[in-house]
Amino acid sequence: MGLFDFFKKKKQENTGIENSKFISVEFQNQICALVLWKLKENDMNPNIAVYEMKKAGLNDEQINVILEKVKEISGEKLKTSSPQDQGIDKNLFNSEAYRTKILDHAQQLYFQNNHRYEVVRHELFKEGLSRKQSEEIIVALQEKNTQMVNDFQADLDSGFISEIKITPNPEHTKGNTDQDQIDRYIGYGAYQMDRGDLDNALELFDKAIELDENATLAYANKGKLYGLKNDTEKALFFTNKALELEPAHPQILENKVDFVFELFQEGKIDEHKFILNIKDVLANDPQNRNALIFIIQFYQNENRIEDAVRSVRELFKKYYSEHVTIQLMVDTMYMLPEEEALKQFDIIENESGEEAKYQLKYNKGLYLKGIGKYDEAIQLYGQLNTVQPFSWNYYQMAIMKNSQGKTAECIELLKTTFELEPALKEDARSFPELQNLFNDPEFIQLTK
């Protein structure tokens, strides 16, 4: 979370989604559904789809695999370039005041989004800049960041930094030191913390706080530092100090969730205090992923079904494609009377965008399957396949047909399933609900 994480000599490589998750049928179907919707929304231009995949954690190789798979599914060619966009007025864009403002904004986005230029590029484009203008600002941002690194090197060469030990300047006192120098202390501290010199890092963070008692990132980094020292109580203390200054800072709130969970696991706080902290996080960031996951499970255990449903709806808004969201939604709906559960699915559908609706209907199919409403679930998955056919929809239909004793129909649906996703054959060979077919010659031949 350090302000100057780009001081690192070696850029961290994006290793992508862990392979076992990436090749799983469920993940592939979810990511393909997302990509297809983004392509359709953008006239088969892949730029936004690629951005969404990068945001989901895929590396370039995985992105190319998904794009090729989606091309096969859709039967359409992807566009290699966007229509020429106009961007903002050239005179405004070239004005010194605007350039200074937009570059500062770009750097803020860079810091807030884990130093990812692709996120900055996407956000600039959303704000009305053309691709050419966005790229120009990205280049200027890279030059500005490089200059900061060069300044660091100059301090190193000048002797201000001795043996990579950064000594606070005693002449830097409160009231006569500008914000840039305070930010440097925080950045140098983050650099030292990354190197493992926690004592020097702490000294630098304390210097920043001495100069500015409202230095949010200094407190936040002290929290992170004490986390590295395995002193979770101090880590939470300084994280809370940072949140007193910026209560809605998403990354600091995420750190708080991590720290209170560690304290709960260690038995240093009870469940009541843990949940109070989680609620405090949600009061400032209602869509905090991990906090929502914890609070939903708490509400389920307490049989507070209304609260669980409300929180599931919040989680679904942003994280609808994640497996944990799917599982929590279906489990929560099982706790409701059938009529109320179906009503809640309708309410969530009315709140959702088009790509989320596809996932929601898939979840509803799982719910119907779970309560034994096979015909309704099969009909729903059939409707989804008319929108966009997916192997997992056919697979679920096949499983339910088998449960109904309709082996011939099950086999036909499995054929379609494996045509779309051959990797599902391995899953089918060990799937418990297909166990009665394991000695069936046609099933054996089909799943080879």
pLDDT, tens digit, 9 for 90 and up, residues 220-278: 999 999 999 999 999 999 999 999 999 999 999 999 999 999 999 999 999 999 999 99
Give which of 26, 118, 38, 23 is closest to 70, Cα–Cα. 38
Query: How would residue 163 be classed by pLDDT, with cut points 50, 70 and 90?
Result: low
pLDDT in tens, 86-122: 788 889 999 999 999 999 999 888 877 756 787 888 8
Query: How would residue 161 be classed by pLDDT, with cut points 50, 70 and 90?
Result: low
Strand partners, 162: 165
- The single-letter DSSP state of residue 167 is P
In the predicted structure, residue 38 carries a pLDDT above the cut 50: yes
Tell me the whole-structure pTM to 2 decimals. 0.64
Q: How many CB atoms lie within 10 A of CB 271?
A: 10
In the predicted structure, residue 4 carries a pLDDT above the cut 70: no
Strand partners, 161: 166
Long-range contacts of 13-19, Cβ-Cβ distance < 8 Å, separation of 24 or more: 14/54, 14/57, 14/59, 14/60, 15/59, 16/57, 16/58, 16/59, 16/61, 16/62, 17/56, 17/57, 17/58, 17/59, 17/62
Strand partners, 166: 161
Which one is predicted more confidently, 83 or 190? 190
Q: 3-state SS string over 314-354?
A: HHHHHHCCCHHHHHHHHHHHHCCCHHHHHHHHHHHHHHCCH
Residue spans of the domains in the chain: they are 15-74, 390-448
- The single-letter DSSP state of residue 434 is G
- The single-letter DSSP state of residue 435 is G
In the predicted structure, residue 25 carries a pLDDT above the cut 50: yes
At residue 157, what are phi and psi to the nearest 5 degrees?
-70, -35
Average confidence (pLDDT) over 199-213: 94
pLDDT at res. 125:
81
Q: Which of 45-49, 159-163, 329-333, 358-362 has the lowest mean pLDDT?
A: 159-163
Query: How would residue 294 be classed by pLDDT, with cut points 50, 70 and 90?
Result: very high
Report the run of H or E that residue 162 belongs to, with start and end: strand 161-162
Those residues whose C-beta lies under 8 Å from the C-beta of residue 206, and which sit 6 or more positions away, are: 218, 222
d(CA 367, CA 372): 9
Report the run of H or E that residue 47 belongs to, with start and end: helix 47-55
- Helix axes of 305-319 and 338-351: crossing angle, nearest 10 degrees: 30
- The single-letter DSSP state of residue 81 is S
Q: How many CB atoms lie within 10 A of CB 267?
A: 7
